Structures are given as C-alpha cells and as structure tokens.
Amino acid sequence: MVIEWLRVQVAEDLREVFVQKDEEIWTAALAKHSGFLGKEVWISPQNPQEVILVIHWKTREAWKSIPQDYLDATEKRFSQEFDANTYKIIEVTEYSVRKFIQPRSK
C-alpha cells in the first residue's frame, strides 16, 4: 500500500466547506480508479487552518496511472467550486506502508 499525504493550508472559516468540496469532487473522482483504497481527512484542533489529506492507494503504479488530463480537469472543477486563492497545498509526501493491521472480525 502507498500513502499520498497532503498538507493544505485553508482559512479557518472556510475549512469545513473545503473538506466538503474535497469529498464531493476529489474523493469521488479518485474513487473511480481501481487502485484507490480510501481517504482520511485529518483536522488538528491545535491548527484550525491545516487540513491533512491521507489517500490510500493499492500500489504506486495504480496511483500514478491516473491520466494527467483527468487530474487537471478535476482540479479545474474543484477550483471553480472552491476558490483556488483560498487554499494552498504546502506539503506533498509519499509513504509506503510496510505493515497494515486489519481488525479481526467478530
């Protein structure tokens, strides 16, 4: 499994709208691809202007196989729905997961 990790800076008063639009547009778009396993949104009570997006991919190849024009179109739609001048991606990192603990079924 591979993790795409993004740290986004967004005005505190717009944070919830950002999270909703991200779910509606980006998460929905990524979920159409077979390598997409899920996404988490982390909100810090200590830093209300920060949103961490943690996207889980089956493999790096599956993640990187999404066509650039599809990503560009998704970003364009997101920017139209949520003003691009109100948020900034300030860090992008990639992680490989070596061990993933599955909960036991009861």
Domains of the chain: 2-96 (3.30.70.100)
101 three-class SS = coil
- Max Cα-Cα span within the chain: 48
What pLDDT, on the 0 to 100 scale, is given for residue 18?
Answer: 96
What CA–CA distance (Å, rounded) separates 2 from 93?
11
Q: Does the pLDDT value for residue 100 go beyond 80?
A: no
pLDDT (average), residues 56-69: 96
pTM of the model: 0.88
Q: Given a cut of 90, is residue 106 above it in pLDDT?
A: no
- CB neighbour class for 72 (10 Å; exposed up to 12, middle 13-18, buried from 19): exposed
pLDDT single digits (tens) 13-50: 999 999 999 999 999 999 999 999 999 999 999 999 99
